[in-house]
Amino acid sequence: MKPETREKILDIFRKQSGYARIRDIQNRSIHNKYLRELQDDGTIIKIKNGLYSLSETSQYNSLKEAQLAIPEGIICLGTALSHYELTTGTLRRFILQSGESKE
């Protein structure tokens, strides 16, 4: 991969808080095969199909990753309170509601 291609891809990640989707790369006319090279050399991590993170991105961004993976998801109250340290309890996991309510 040419150094300028690598920088273009990393710039996409940096502008999006360390995350990018395949479509973000393809929208800039860059082939997604380069993501595999960056993954192999440890520059990025595959979070799920189509979603990648810079390796240097903070490890406790799992709530951000969930939001990117499930954009229509709604963060439940207990999770939000815990995230913003507004509760005395500690959640071992966070809870999202996905999909639209039929009410």
Q: Where are the domains of the chain?
A: 3-54, 70-97
- For 58-92, write each residue's pLDDT tens digit: 555 667 777 777 777 777 777 777 767 787 776 66
Q: Which of 56, 11, 73 is nearest to 64 (CA)?
A: 73
Averaged pLDDT, 4-11: 94
- For 14-38, write each residue's pLDDT tens digit: 998 888 999 999 999 999 899 999 9
Name the CA radius of gyration of the chain, rounded: 16
pLDDT band at 98 (very low <50, low <70, confident <90, very high): confident
Buried b (16+ CB within 10 A) or exposed e, 25-42: beeeebeeebbeebeeee
> Is the pLDDT confidence value at 99 over 70?
no
Task: Give me the pLDDT at residue 94, please.
Answer: 66
By the 8 A CB rule, do 30 and 6 touch? no
